[in-house]
Structure 1
């Protein structure tokens, strides 16, 4: 069968961009529909001299990032011959989002480069104005860590250079709930980006190896989350939960800005990669993470325990946020309450080392007062 495909558009990055590019297309067909048609067995009538069944006409074949999970291995290997050029289909235009390397390489090898257009994401470059914004508002957003942003920005500034390709890699040390994750979120917010957050505490099962190094093309993996990102800010939360033997998967990522597994080669150049741990000292971090990965960080930043004065400021700020979020009726119901004094007393007596817990408890306490005032629960 001749090659009838007229155009091939390959989109890399966020699914949303691909959806916007294809939503107005007419006469679209999914990969699942094409595969089902190819696999369908024809019923032949003995001795009947029937003409061959014409191929299914596919004007626009649309393949989303998650669609490859439904593709059998036989179709992945030799995707062009087994699917795109199959005699039972006639495909005119092909639209793919984040194809695995095997499919991408097969298409590039089998089709004229003149009909292939690759759409690569354009992540905003960090500017001096961005860094001024980050610096100016940090101490109000993340209270109790005034030294942190000076250290962080001295590393991030390297991304301003057009010659810089490898990512900035930051290792945050310190107890839980004292501002590490909040700092990453703050940086992402200042850059108007939707930060990629990978929680390695969720990867403590037997599937952790497959998640990091890649396994079946249809399974969730770190590479697939990275390739479909919409931001150049990546948070690898609780990085200390990764099995030490797996850290070699990140060497090339930190050194060259490329993350490779069995299915994808992902460009993470010029990213800000933030790894958080609960280690308190550089000695403890290097011992447990291992020198090979530890030495690859651009900067190691220690988050200090938060003072009582700063905890009181955080409590007051959080209480004000919760009250401001209430409607007028709820505000009037609890115009006078003892929530903030209760937490201020607890802080002075040495409670609440974890600010995340403090913030949640203040919100719960305010809601409890409202429930009491409404007579929903008893005092």
Structure 2
């Protein structure tokens, strides 16, 4: 399968106050070991920092648009467990579409552990060995959100294993941490000479697990937008938007089995965009939901299953959303529909692809959402 050069990664641990420092590091290429030289504005480091903290409305002239490919829910239970015997092919043919973008992001709906204790009073608990991250990496995935209703299926011990596996992997994990600062800190990447912050957060948690699973001061857990946590997420997005060129929020949201978003979702999306998000995407419903432009930002209410053991009828409909970013705007979108076969998405082709895309686009009207097919 085709591969692309891996982009510089700057995981931020410790809060948005570290953004400027992280951006300075990511702005320097791995080969750049020369000593700083003087410029009209001071050292090269100072110039880089000034560029990193400048308003997104005044990007450097040498930037260019870049793409991010998004997939939905990924896990490796059931028939998918055996695919991890060879992580290099575990994701199947969809890897070509993920690898074609500058960056790729999915929702990893499983604890990455072989230990821990199953969460109490929970019907479905998912876990996978660290080879799951090898599979994501081999398929071209750069970032995975752990902020979902399965991220802590094996408790704090399972979360600790997950975070350790993430630290050892090229795939950056977001939306979870050893405390709230870590959980609400985005991963920062650079592409096309621009910076992008990628967050993960969940709007779905079992009531009896919400307090235990939500990250707090000195308390491991997940980033959430439920209750008081919503304001923390909005603040984190605002702070990131002041430091980087583009902001993505990957949300676990929606109602299982429903194509249309849950009632408060459009307001939540609007609030995140107002806070500075360039794109808000996500899933949870296990079926596809509408997506489209809100001004020059983009919202997708449900990417559906992606690599999943449960696929039949609507739950087998999947796809890859590829967005083109440029200076805090989404300028283009592409929905490449796929159908899950044997647990992995296989792209539609020809007339079947056209029909699947049309069916998905018609969901905007069905759900009566103010989304458009092109930016304002």
TM-score exceeds 0.5: no
TM-score normalised by the shorter chain: which range applies? Answer: under 0.3
TM-score w.r.t. length of structure 1: 0.28
Which structure's CA Rg is the greater one?
1
The structure where helix makes up a greater share of residues is 1
The structure where strand makes up a greater share of residues is 2
TM-score w.r.t. length of structure 2: 0.28
